[in-house]
């Protein structure tokens, strides 16, 4: 029984190392999937923020459905589990195209708090009754984005 347990343990550990190496490889080579996913998330945030901004500036007519959907989508994006998006070892300089600063992994609680702030700022836009109300809520929303980017996003390469 002891020999069988050792063989089983060795097999499980070997499979774990092989799987881990394969996963690490997909997250350290060109075209890093975690970086691509982060960029997609930020692109979606930018898209919805852009819709809200266009309404606030009068470039697009006020539409409660678009305001509420955009705010809800920003909240949902901010609430996504970050463990699969900001994988340690995918910081700027470690993999191509990443602008994530190492401070993300040094200060994970503060990094998470920035996303909670984004959720709250987006929630404050829900129910805005006109373009002026959307505009008034855009300052705090943009401030949360700026605060996080200044602290946790590196310069373009």
Please give the average per-residue pLDDT across 55-70, as a whole number: 98
124 alpha-carbon distance from chain centroid: 20
CB-based contact 100:34 (threshold 8 Å): no
Percent of the chain with pLDDT over 70: 80
Query: What is the rounded average pLDDT for all residues in the chain?
Result: 86
Please give the average per-residue pLDDT across 93-115, as a whole number: 96
**Distance, CA of 118 to CA of 103 (rounded, Å):** 19
Q: What pLDDT score was predicted for residue 157? A: 77
92 DSSP β-pair partners: 95
Residue 31's pLDDT band (cuts 50, 70, 90)? low
Q: What pLDDT score was predicted for residue 2? A: 47
CB-based contact 32:24 (threshold 8 Å): no
pLDDT for residue 22 is more than 50? no
Please give the average per-residue pLDDT across 94-121, as a whole number: 96
pLDDT for residue 8 is more than 60? no
The region of weakest confidence among 19-23, 32-36, 105-109, 118-122 is 19-23
Q: What pLDDT score was predicted for residue 28? A: 46
Q: What pLDDT score was predicted for residue 37? A: 96
**In terms of pLDDT, which residue wins out, 111 or 3?**
111
Instruction: Using alpha carbons, select from 48, 46, 47, 150 the residue that is nearest to residue 99.
Output: 150
Q: What pLDDT score was predicted for residue 16? A: 40
Percent of the chain with pLDDT over 90: 80
């Amino acid at each position: 029984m002891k020999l069988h347990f050792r063989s089983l343990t060795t097999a499980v550990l070997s499979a774990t190392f092989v799987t881990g190496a394969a996963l690490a490889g997909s997250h350290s080579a060109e075209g890093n999937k975690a970086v691509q996913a982060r960029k997609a998330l930020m692109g979606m945030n930018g898209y919805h923020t852009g819709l809200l901004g266009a309404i606030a500036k009068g470039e697009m007519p006020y539409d409660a459905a678009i305001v509420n959907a955009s705010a809800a989508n920003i909240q949902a994006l901010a609430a996504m589990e970050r463990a699969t998006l900001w994988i340690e070892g995918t910081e700027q300089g470690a993999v191509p195209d990443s602008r994530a600063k190492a401070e993300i992994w040094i200060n994970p609680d503060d990094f998470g708090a920035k996303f909670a702030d984004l959720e709250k700022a987006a929630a404050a836009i829900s129910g805005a009754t006109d373009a002026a109300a959307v505009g008034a809520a855009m300052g705090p929303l943009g401030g949360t984005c700026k605060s996080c980017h200044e602290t946790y996003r590196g310069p373009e390469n």
